[in-house]
Structure 1
């Protein structure tokens, strides 16, 4: 009866459920009066009784897990017992038999001798091998060692994430629902995924070495509680959400998958992904458990305390719980949920407190500049590395991106291992369109790949010029070169080097090739070379430094020295191919045409000596003279203010532009000559190649090109030259085509001498054809070595240090004069500065021996001992041990009679305070300027009477005012001594001159000491990096002008022996002496005196070029020459490339490139007599003031002089065509009369000492300007 009542109550309850379908759960009254809640969904009713089957799903997982665990334990137990109790002895015997059988087979060589027992054991061995191979195959499949394995691992992970997504979708449904497998699409997909997981589980099981530990792995537990319930769902046609959230634990392997795909490579990225994946997987898994128990309720309470929570609400609950915030809007109601939260909050809080800060730290410490460069199509990029600081980068960008260059379509990529500071970062942002920065090291191939070094146009390496250890800095840069060349051998590298001797290490790099554009800019070599050139022509260092630096034009209206100086500063060095209109003309004729017509100053050309376009077969010839004829495709070197101006040399056409007076109107024209110059690149290269062929019908030219070439050669006779290994010296010239000049005229015009045995094509300066006096001067036949093996420098056998040491008394008795005093600070611990680079330009072989200036070093003997190894092969070098701060030492070397005083320091980089780095040089400079001396005129007068003390004889033609003023000048104050001081910190230049008004923030090139050539800083050489990149010939030209003849061949020789090697004089080595040099031309007296007082610079340029083959390129003018009143100031400043109409004054000194003088020795005797006459007449010379008044009176007659010159210029315009194309008919020898010069006037023009000899007249006459 009770049973029937219970059944009736259940039936009534079901009826109520049917009538009220919206009710989620309804109580069913039991017989004892208690209500039982059974959650039922009416969309898919479970069954008529309302029973739940969650236990079946859970039981399938538990049985699988524990059943398998039991089987594994039983198997391992039986295996252990079988091995220990029954099979131990037999196994040992079998092992012993196998060993004995193997040994017997090896010994007897009979592999067929086997026992029966061994044969019976063989099947066992085969069976083990088969199992092992299967196990290995399964291990390879799951370890991602092959492509198939990687695909399998990635697929399993992707399917696990897919199964987790299906769980997220199903979590919106009730925990348990009845579903039809054939109609539920998500269940079908989940079934397919789990079948794949089951197969993968089998592979993992086979590959596992320890089955027990494999069974307890996290991934195995995930499979136990997710795979079997799917099969139960298919069987029962119902679904239980259950523990499917465990699939979230697969996210822990996310970092491994990314490593398999080669996405994660760095330790920080791997660690970051690991932390994030563990945190997220734990978070999602815990949220899934809370979702299960809160929506199901407690089983022991008949699930009556359940609550509706979505999965994402549970995710929110876990996050606020881990973060200890606990808002209370969502919380756990079930006992299981609260118990889980108790334990989870302990681990979750610890994980949140440790993982989250570490994740944030890794993200925060992630390199801001750790990306990769994306190359832009059609745009080149360069990589800049090394010493990357605000100063070095700003100087580099200012010069590289200067507006005077053509459109710079190059992107600059900086690579440095330290992130930039705020100032440097702001600089990068200001140039963001052309500059990018990446953090990394060129020593790391991965970082080189990031900046696309293989596609870069070049790699530039900057050096730290202010480092304490220059050798260590050079070693670092050499290692950078090695790393870059090892990664990409073909990349072009331009690197800065601090020490000259370290350049030799670059030659040890197999892929280093200077012929392909690799260059090393040695700062010590160039710095000391610039200073050495200032010893020969004061102010030249400033002029050359301004030429390769990009400076903007600053216009000043006031008539001050800054106005003229800044006009010259705006000039730079450019290169451009010469127009076809110049083909066949001599170099001086082209220079004159460019200067007068095009307003361009050409100083050198690039000459192709042989066939081909290889860089190694091209030579740079500086002011070669009138025997060089221009070829098609010749590259010219110009000094101009803008790259657009230099285009005139390429566009010039004689037919179209001959009558144009405004050079700005010279642009492209459509005449045949321009069409010829605009031919295809291939044809132009072929023509340039075939210009060196002697046959018109050479095989490398087509018929059309041969006909064009024939026409050209008939119109313009070409005289190709042959150039020696040195880029600026000439050995001989061979005319490949018959010249239009007669042999007699050719001899007159070229000054060539022919011997019966000589070729008619031999050059006039052939060493075999020298005059008798030249041969006496060069007694370098087979017995005497006076030059090094290359013939570039004067050489002498190595001398011991003791033989060149001077005491104060010995120096005073020597009575040094016209010498160079080098004051150097250093000690035993100082880094070597390479004084050899200062001496080599002063010992260049294009000076005659009697023209060499004596060099006296004043400094610490301990330091100079270390430098002496590189100096002992140079003649006329002495050392006075002492200190440059000692006035007694300075007076002993007659510093008041020196041609130049150089102040150097090897201790500059050992001081941290930049303001004190130059303290020694500044103190020495101020010490010399404050010294007072007795009147030296008495010595000069004694010289005229023949009572000159030993060492004071001046029989050299250097006293000629043609190239400079008289040497022996009266100096009574140290302020008039020519000094050049090396500085490290540019701002310290303000301390050198106490009477200037330079602001401390003024740029170095705008300061008075730098403009006057009395200060030089290594920072000005930074511009050479960008200049070399845009035109590698610029560095070759600068090095040629500065070093006196250093070549790659010479550097290789020095790398072998670290010293110059003496060589016997041969015609080839003696020919190397025939190269031009820099000198200064005085206008007060001599053949150019008529132009010195009010003449124009253009007339001087033309006269010097046509008469003496001297190429003028600047003026060294008194600072106060523009003032109408006389001034006692002897300071001078540099004016680069003045315009044609620039007015000259008598005290100007003209920078010029003069030819080597083979006849200098002939005039020594006669000049000695004239020198005595000059000094004897100086007794009656007038004062400086009277001379300046006389010059002022002469200025009153300038109007008449200008009128006469205008008439001459009018007549000259009609003859310009003849100047440029024809040789003069009449020739006669020129005789230059040297007039005496007063010593007071010499004092007025800064006691400038001459650097060269008497100009030999060229035996050809052209119209005067």
Structure 2
């Protein structure tokens, strides 16, 4: 009654009264005293507890404290009540700060109930905390300590004051957690956005509350003489203007505490802006650009690319994909990446904005597959990461992507890259996998090691085969004649066409000669429906040395893919070359279970980095030394991934071997040396694999070839032109090739793997290879297929071909008389002939599909596809060495019972429906002839 009468006498509103400085001090100092007193008590308790634990350890007894989990509903309830208490603060802040609210104000009991619950909840959290001091210093604990004790003061004095209640705004920092519990937000971008908004709003409301308090109260030491009346809204306005560093000057801080706070707040705002404003802009941009759905346009073709979406993989894919349809791109490319693109990757997409799109999502989620409309796509391509540290995990994740895509829409055409060959077996087991509709597998290990294996049989074959499947658009001005010939060989294209009616009944040599002479096309293989049925310590010489780097923990590279092409069935036992692996015994023991069924395989513990180990393997008598890149390891520098192979190459090239210690692969070169009257050192033939093609300059320097083709591009380097280096990076282009023309991919697989059938792969794990079923027709009847060889123009059956002044004459003569298909040349570099002091040995380079009028030299070696029963050397030849044989060209038996054969037997006739594989020379006029034999479709040009 006295308080009411006093308010009526002073003219103040009912429930409001003036707050003296003593009351305000009580509300301000109580939280600080509580905080520091509690902190001191906790430190003392921890000290006592540490002493007690030492005593407890001595006596062998103890007490176990159990932390009680806090349920989610209580977290949500506390957040809601905190927001309610903050709203009550906003309402009370409309009154001057110098006034107190009595219990006649209806908001006071509500706020008291809220704070009572906060006290109870604080006690539960304190009891459940393992580290009491850490809990005491947490943000939420500080908020409770500075807002709950004033509640008890207000209950004791029967009045309430604003005080530090604005700190309840810091509870907004829990907004993202609450939204996630309620499942309002589910994506990572929305979580990030909610965190940024929570930080900004809580900072504004808290800073505005402090400005509102000190500006209305004034500096304590001046007893409020410099105070000013400012509303909470004006305080927010001042804070927002300060955050933007604009500061219009209409609302300013006048107290010393307010001005000091503004200075520090500006610094904090700058830090806050630098950290979160760009992130907000990026989130908004990503939300707008990368979370949308792809708009399917009727009649517009597109493909979906997912998996390893990086700068390198996207650049390689676009470069090779766009070359297929240069000037007339009518297929969109939709990249489905699991994380937003980097700035460099985003730049690539913007440069190709006309036909590329990026959508953030995962191929493992149906909703993301629905956003990119996989069911309407022409194909879905899955890119693997060949430099990953765990290739098995990479293959497994990509196989799961295939499974998810096939489950979502079984008819989707899938082309997948696989790193390890033994993981291929899982894909055909997917019920909706269909080879006939274009589903395909590109195995890195199988193709890469197959290429190197073929290069071990014939020098330069890796370069020859690779040049058929790459396309260079970089302008290079050759300085030497040999450089011109090599670069012209890189301009050939491979395409496939259905056999015309005019070819029906003709033999393969007749059609091949007709295409070569009349149309300037080289027919190298045909695909036809199969007529087969279900009825149907050593003294190493002329061997192959494979240098392997790995240890007990290294991922397996799959050496069986290296051995299988060298042990193909169309080689007799006498033709097989010994294969010697030099490497860690621990690693080779893990690979041995895949190699134990092959004949003439030897493992020598050691390292290619030691000369002694190389001499033990008789490397000076080997026909080829293959240096295989080690399994991928995490590395900060791409240059360092090829350290072992580069050092091994340096080690082997440092060996100087006299010309007397020559092998079959060097016999022709040695004869040439004698013809020129020179005494040369023979260089050991090396085939080096590089994971990073840009490291080619190290190989160029080691071989002394850096003065010729000075290019960091692997395929334009001198080492590549001479067939001494190989990199599997070009296999990235096979995704585009398989999409446009899967027949070419089948041809490549046949060339480098020997056409290994699936039945043979399954039986390689058994103890006896002889237990193969009779149904494995590829194994039993495919032995008579042709082989590729490297023959000289003298001392071989090619010496009987007359005339042979040009490549066209040689091609027609060998095809007509011998049934042999000539596809390329291996020629000496002219500088070698004019420089007898050169110690590098004989250097040769590859010429892919020379022109018809190309002049031959006596020293040229010829890449030939040789029928199985043809003897390559004359019977009266003094040399007893085996011919230069390499790849086993073997039919590839697929689920559709289709085969690809290179240079079929002489009597084999062509039928309607056969598909021809042709090498098309650069700038060929074949399409301008008035003929009905072949009508190429631009879609199949490569």
Q: Secondary structure at the match of 1:1040?
A: helix
Report which stretch shifted further, 902-911 or 915-924: 902-911
Q: Secondary structure at the match of 1:909?
A: coil
Q: Secondary structure at the match of 1:847?
A: coil
Q: Distance in 1 between matches of 2:680 and 2:655?
A: 6
* Alpha-carbon contact 1:915-1:988 (below 8 Å) kept: yes
- Of the candidates 539, 545, 554, which is equivalent to residue 821 of structure 1? 545
The equivalent residue for 2:283 is 365
In structure 2, the CA distance between the partners of 1:816 and 1:909, relative to structure 1 (3 Å rule), is: same
The equivalent residue for 1:149 is none
Q: Secondary structure at the match of 1:365?
A: helix
- Of the candidates 822, 830, 849, which is equivalent to residue 1112 of structure 1? 822
The equivalent residue for 2:691 is 984
Shift of 1:1067: 10
* Alpha-carbon contact 1:1004-1:1010 (below 8 Å) kept: yes
Q: Secondary structure at the match of 2:784?
A: coil
* Alpha-carbon contact 1:561-1:1122 (below 8 Å) kept: no
In structure 2, the CA distance between the partners of 1:553 and 1:361, relative to structure 1 (3 Å rule), is: closer
* Alpha-carbon contact 2:196-2:280 (below 8 Å) kept: no
The equivalent residue for 2:416 is 495
Q: Secondary structure at the match of 1:597?
A: helix
For residues 697-729 of structure 1, give each alpha carbon's deviation from its aligned partner in whole angstroms, at most 9, with x where no partner exists: xxxxxxxxxxxxxxxxxxxxxxxxx2469xxxx
Shift of 1:271: 10
The equivalent residue for 1:596 is 517
Q: Secondary structure at the match of 1:873?
A: coil
Shift of 1:936: 3.5
The equivalent residue for 2:437 is 516
* Alpha-carbon contact 1:1083-1:1089 (below 8 Å) kept: yes
Shift of 1:514: 2.4
Q: How does 1:892-911 map to 2 (within 5 A)?
A: 892-911=616-635
The equivalent residue for 1:173 is none
* Alpha-carbon contact 1:401-1:408 (below 8 Å) kept: yes
Q: Secondary structure at the match of 2:297?
A: coil
- Of the candidates 607, 615, 630, which is equivalent to residue 528 of structure 2? 607
Task: Say whether 1:526 aligns with 2:233.
Answer: no
Shift of 1:572: 2.3
In structure 2, the CA distance between the partners of 1:403 and 1:842, relative to structure 1 (3 Å rule), is: closer
RMSD, aligned α-carbons: 4.7
Q: Secondary structure at the match of 1:884?
A: coil
* Alpha-carbon contact 1:1113-1:1136 (below 8 Å) kept: yes
Shift of 1:510: 2.4
Shift of 1:414: 0.9
Q: Secondary structure at the match of 2:562?
A: helix
Task: Say whether 1:1138 aligns with 2:847.
Answer: no
Q: Distance in 1 between matches of 2:671 and 2:446?
A: 30
Q: Secondary structure at the match of 1:825?
A: coil
Report which stretch shifted further, 926-935 or 516-525: 926-935
Q: Distance in 2 between matches of 1:995 and 1:372?
A: 54
Q: Distance in 1 between matches of 2:643 and 2:634?
A: 12
* Alpha-carbon contact 2:659-2:681 (below 8 Å) kept: no
The equivalent residue for 2:638 is 914
Task: Say whether 1:1037 aligns with 2:747.
Answer: yes
- Of the candidates 574, 589, 605, which is equivalent to residue 850 of structure 1? 574
TM-score by length of 1: 0.47
* Alpha-carbon contact 1:818-1:967 (below 8 Å) kept: no
The equivalent residue for 1:375 is 296
Shift of 1:971: 13
Q: Distance in 2 between matches of 1:1098 and 1:853?
A: 33
Q: Distance in 1 between matches of 2:634 and 2:825?
A: 38
The equivalent residue for 1:1019 is 729
Task: Say whether 1:507 aligns with 2:217.
Answer: no
Q: Distance in 2 between matches of 1:321 and 1:601?
A: 81
* Alpha-carbon contact 1:884-1:924 (below 8 Å) kept: yes
Q: Distance in 1 between matches of 2:674 and 2:425?
A: 42
* Alpha-carbon contact 1:1075-1:1156 (below 8 Å) kept: yes
Q: How does 1:158-237 map to 2 (within 5 A)?
A: none
Q: Which structure has more RCO (C-alpha within 8 Å, separation ≥ 6)?
A: 2
Report which stretch shifted further, 557-566 or 581-590: 557-566
Shift of 1:464: 1.1
In structure 2, the CA distance between the partners of 1:878 and 1:373, relative to structure 1 (3 Å rule), is: same
In structure 2, the CA distance between the partners of 1:1000 and 1:1248, relative to structure 1 (3 Å rule), is: farther
Which protein is bigger by CA-based radius of gyration? 1
Task: Say whether 1:469 aligns with 2:393.
Answer: no
The equivalent residue for 2:317 is 396
* Alpha-carbon contact 1:1093-1:1146 (below 8 Å) kept: no
Q: Distance in 2 between matches of 1:1257 and 1:318?
A: 93
For residues 1099-1131 of structure 1, give each alpha carbon's deviation from its aligned partner in whole angstroms, at most 9, with x where no partner exists: 111111122221111111112279778786511
In structure 2, the CA distance between the partners of 1:327 and 1:1023, relative to structure 1 (3 Å rule), is: closer
* Alpha-carbon contact 2:627-2:648 (below 8 Å) kept: yes
Q: Distance in 2 between matches of 1:1258 and 1:481?
A: 43
Q: Distance in 1 between matches of 2:833 and 2:526?
A: 39
Shift of 1:1094: 7.0
* Alpha-carbon contact 1:1077-1:1155 (below 8 Å) kept: yes
Q: Distance in 2 between matches of 1:513 and 1:410?
A: 23
Q: Secondary structure at the match of 1:1013?
A: coil
Q: Secondary structure at the match of 2:548?
A: strand
For residues 542-572 of structure 1, give each alpha carbon's deviation from its aligned partner in whole angstroms, at most 9, with x where no partner exists: 1111212233375646542211111011112
In structure 2, the CA distance between the partners of 1:554 and 1:913, relative to structure 1 (3 Å rule), is: closer
* Alpha-carbon contact 1:959-1:966 (below 8 Å) kept: no
The equivalent residue for 1:124 is none
* Alpha-carbon contact 1:908-1:918 (below 8 Å) kept: no
Task: Say whether 1:1087 aligns with 2:797.
Answer: yes
Shift of 1:1073: 1.0
Report which stretch shifted further, 477-486 or 565-574: 477-486
Q: Distance in 2 between matches of 1:551 and 1:384?
A: 23
* Alpha-carbon contact 1:1108-1:1256 (below 8 Å) kept: no
Q: Distance in 2 between matches of 1:1004 and 1:1018?
A: 11
For residues 950-990 of structure 1, give each alpha carbon's deviation from its aligned partner in whole angstroms, at most 9, with x where no partner exists: xxxx9xxx9998x9989999999876211101111112222
The equivalent residue for 2:167 is none
Q: How does 1:349-360 map to 2 (within 5 A)?
A: none
Q: Mind listing any 5+ residue stretches in structure 2 that lack a counterpart? A: 1-179, 202-230, 252-268, 889-902, 909-942
For residues 346-390 of structure 1, give each alpha carbon's deviation from its aligned partner in whole angstroms, at most 9, with x where no partner exists: xxxxxx99x999999666524242211112332211111111111
Shift of 1:1089: 2.6
Q: Distance in 2 between matches of 1:465 and 1:422?
A: 23
Shift of 1:1062: 3.6
The equivalent residue for 1:708 is none
* Alpha-carbon contact 2:584-2:605 (below 8 Å) kept: yes
* Alpha-carbon contact 2:657-2:684 (below 8 Å) kept: no
Q: How does 1:572-583 map to 2 (within 5 A)?
A: 572-583=493-504
Q: How does 1:636-785 map to 2 (within 5 A)?
A: 722-723=531-532
TM-score by length of 2: 0.62
Q: Mind listing any 5+ residue stretches in structure 1 that lack a counterpart? A: 1-258, 281-313, 331-351, 610-721, 726-730, 733-809, 941-953, 1168-1231, 1261-1265
Shift of 1:844: 0.4
In structure 2, the CA distance between the partners of 1:515 and 1:1251, relative to structure 1 (3 Å rule), is: closer
The equivalent residue for 1:997 is 706
* Alpha-carbon contact 1:542-1:1010 (below 8 Å) kept: yes
Shift of 1:910: 4.6
Task: Say whether 1:1070 aligns with 2:794.
Answer: no
Report which stretch shifted further, 1142-1151 or 314-323: 314-323
Q: Secondary structure at the match of 2:335?
A: strand
